[in-house]
Each structure stands twice: as C-alpha cells, then as structure tokens.
Amino acid sequence: MKRTTRTRLTRGILYAVLLGLVVAAGGAADWAAIRENFFDTEVMRQLWPDIVTVAAKNTLIYTILAFSGGLALSLLLALMKLSPVAPYRWIATAYIEFFRGLPALLVIILFAFAVPIAFGWIPPGGTIGAGVLALVVVSAAYLAETVRAGIQAVPKGQVEAARSLGMNGTWTMVSVVLPQALRIVIPPLTNEFVLLLKDSSLLAIIGASASERELTTFSRDSLTSLSNGTPLIAAAIMYLIITLPLTRVVARLERRTLRSR
C-alpha cells in the first residue's frame, strides 16, 4: 500500500468513527425534552430584557470593579515583591501565596459573612460589595505575579539609561519601567479579566436583591421560579457573547507582540 493511500484510509476511518458517535448520541438523546427544558422560546422571552439590563450589566460592573481594584492592589504587591526591603517582600509573598492557595468561593463567603461579624464593619454595597471586595483581594494575588513578570521583562538597559540621566528610582519606575511593563502584560491581563468575569459567578453564593443579581444568580433564580433549564442556556450565551470577543482580542494581541519582537 502506498503511503498516501494509507494516510487517506486512516483519515477516512477517523471521520467514520466521529460520524458514528454523533449519530449514536443524536439517536439516544430525547430532542423534544431538550428543546422543552433548555431552549424554550417562551421562557427566553420572559427573561428579556432583565438578563441584559440587570444581570449581564451587573456581571460586567462587578468584574470591572474587581479587576480595577485588583490591578491597583497587584501593582502595589508587585512593587513590594521587588523591593530591596526584605519585610515588604515577605509580606507580598505571604499575601500572594495565601490568597492563591484558597478557593475564591471560600474567600467570598468569608468576606460576605464572617468579616462583618468579626469586625462589625459592613463594606460599601453591603453583602454584594463584600463579595466584590473578596474578588479584588483574590484577583490581586494572581495579577501581582503577572505584573511582576512584566516589570522584570523590561530590559535592564532601560533602567540604566534612566538612572544614568539622573532620574531617581521612583521616576524611573513611573515613567520608564511601568509604561513598558503594562504594555507587555496586556495579553495576560486580558486573560485574567476573562477568568475574573467567570469567577464573578461565584457571587451567586451570596443572596442578592433583584437589582443586584449577576448572570449566574439571575439564571439560577429563574431556573427555580420557572422550573425550566432555559435560563442557564441564556446565561451561558450571555457569558460567551462577552468572553469570546475578549479571547479573540488576546489572541490578536499575542500575535502582534510576537511579530514586533
């Protein structure tokens, strides 16, 4: 048998197996039940427009708040981690290891329920505010490592050039290193944003008023009240509408960085 014939035959078998599996799965599935329970147009209509104007909007607001807060805190942590003063490094390392080692869900519950009791302090925004704060604290731990890597990726010659012009350490960091570092980490930061957007669904563990609900809380509540799985599919579509373009953007940015090197 010729090599090309053999390749063609193997490929043919692979397609046949795939087709068989699809047909088998399609035959076994109860299409009527699936349509009724997950793709009910009447239920879809009931979810509209709140799923966009309340749920998706809140998901985005919580994510953006948590991300900007987390980014600011992570910058501080990254600078501490690179500090010549050892205790700052220890604190930053301890913080990062601690919050990366914990499940985000646990931290959210801690912030929403335990912290107010322990400290008699209710964060702005109430329980949901506490949940978002927990996301800030957790995402900062992840972002800090990314930001630190970005800072260290700026060539040493840049610092030397700035210092040899007489700029002090702070000016060098602010006007030479950080602008370049942030450019380097835009693709990984966008990735972190997508991860955080999905993690905002963990806020569903917290009770929220109707106007505070994000996508997952909204769809779970609708699932209960309507006794139908369609809200889950609707929420999934909303998440994908937001995340898919972002991951495309990351892919584009990464290709561009590769080219410019």
The contact set with another protein (CB under 8 A) reads: 155, 157-158, 160-168, 171, 175-176, 179-180, 183, 260
| Residue 237, H or E segment | helix 230-260
Closer to another protein by Cβ: residue 45 or 259: 259
Closer to another protein by Cβ: residue 185 or 194: 185
Q: Please, what is the minimum distance in Å from the beta carbon of residue 163 to another protein?
A: 7
Residue with tokens 């046949």: 16
Q: Please, what is the minimum distance in Å from the beta carbon of residue 151 to another protein?
A: 14
Distance CA 71, CA 82 (A): 16
Closer to another protein by Cβ: residue 154 or 215: 154
Closer to another protein by Cβ: residue 120 or 166: 166
Smallest CA-to-CA distance from 203 within 133, 139, 98 is with 133
Q: Please, what is the minimum distance in Å from the beta carbon of residue 62 to another protein?
A: 32
Q: Please, what is the minimum distance in Å from the beta carbon of residue 89 to another protein?
A: 20
Whether residue 140 contacts residue 74, with contact meaning beta carbons closer than 8 Å, is answered with yes
Closer to another protein by Cβ: residue 124 or 157: 157
Structure tokens at 163: 């210092």
Smallest CA-to-CA distance from 230 within 48, 17, 13 is with 48
Query: What is the rounded end-to-end Cα distance, in angstroms, of the chain?
Result: 46
Q: Please, what is the minimum distance in Å from the beta carbon of residue 186 to another protein?
A: 13
**Residues 247, 248, 249, CA angle at the centre, nearest 5°?**
90
Distance CA 17, CA 12 (A): 9
Phi, psi of 150 (to 5 degrees): -65, -45
Smallest CA-to-CA distance from 190 within 105, 67, 65 is with 67
Cα–Cα distances in Å, from 152 out to 22, 56, 81, 108?
Answer: 49, 36, 11, 31
Closer to another protein by Cβ: residue 20 or 179: 179
Closer to another protein by Cβ: residue 13 or 165: 165
Q: Please, what is the minimum distance in Å from the beta carbon of residue 158 to another protein?
A: 6
Q: Please, what is the minimum distance in Å from the beta carbon of residue 165 to another protein?
A: 4
Distance CA 129, CA 21 (A): 47
